[in-house]
Amino acid sequence: MAWTKNQMAQRAAQELKDGFYVNLGIGLPTLVANYIPNNINVWLQSENGLLGIGEFPTEETVDADLINAGKQTVTVKAGGSFFSSSESFAMIRGGHIDVAILGAMEVSEQGDLANWMIPGKKVKGMGGAMDLVAGVQRVIVLMEHCTKDGFPKILKQCQLPLTGCQVVNRIISNLGVFDITIQGIRVIELAEGESLENVQQVTGVQLIQ
């Protein structure tokens, strides 16, 4: 049985270690903030100049002036700090962010990432994704395994404009966990109830174990 979005976020949170500095991409990855284990200290960073993002606010704690890069309202944990976007990107480009958890529209067998635009559709801009994939130490993609139309999002080659080449280390989808390796895309874990045969049918490349 496929993981729900919350279960995907919970699984992604297991990738984090004590002391990590982490950037969460827009959309599904932002849910990871709600599932960081209590026994580790992780600092969430946002491109718009915030370090120390907490869980999403309740109606009682919401502050319209506190937003992440996706313009969602957030909370700030004790010790959090605010700074300019130029300083934020200096952290990213300087290799000071341990992990970026990003959404994706397509990922190739080689770890190429397409997540910023679909030709012909309006976009606000590429955001910080290109800087993130080039500057962080590890890139994890958190996405649905297939498009809304049922087409695979893990492909031999990306069809959409690339965000970065050979930048993805791990994919966490609603069907399981997969690593990009020299030999190909390796299955690390499958969602409970899912079989390798079923997952292979909705994947655009040959999976390896």
Identify the CATH assignment for 5-202 out of 1.10.287.3510, 3.40.1080.10, 3.40.640.10, 3.40.50.720.
Answer: 3.40.1080.10
pTM of the model: 0.93
> How far, in Å, are 35, 98, 180 from residue 154 at the CA level?
26, 24, 11
Q: Please provide residue 92's backbone torsions phi and psi, each rounded to the nearest 5 degrees.
A: -65, -50
Catalytic residue among 15, 47, 106, 109: 47
Q: Computed over its alpha carbons, how large is the radius of gyration of the chain?
A: 17
For the chain, the domains span 5-202
Q: Please provide residue 86's backbone torsions phi and psi, each rounded to the nearest 5 degrees.
A: -65, -40
Whether the CB-CB separation of 51 and 43 falls below 8 Å is answered with: yes
Give pLDDT, residue 60: 86
- Note if 47 is an active site residue: yes
Give the tens place of pLDDT for each residue, 48-93: 999 999 888 888 889 998 998 888 899 999 999 999 999 999 999 9
Write down how long the chain is. 209
Rounded distance, CA 111 to CA 102, Å?
A: 13
Amino acid letter at 41?
A: N
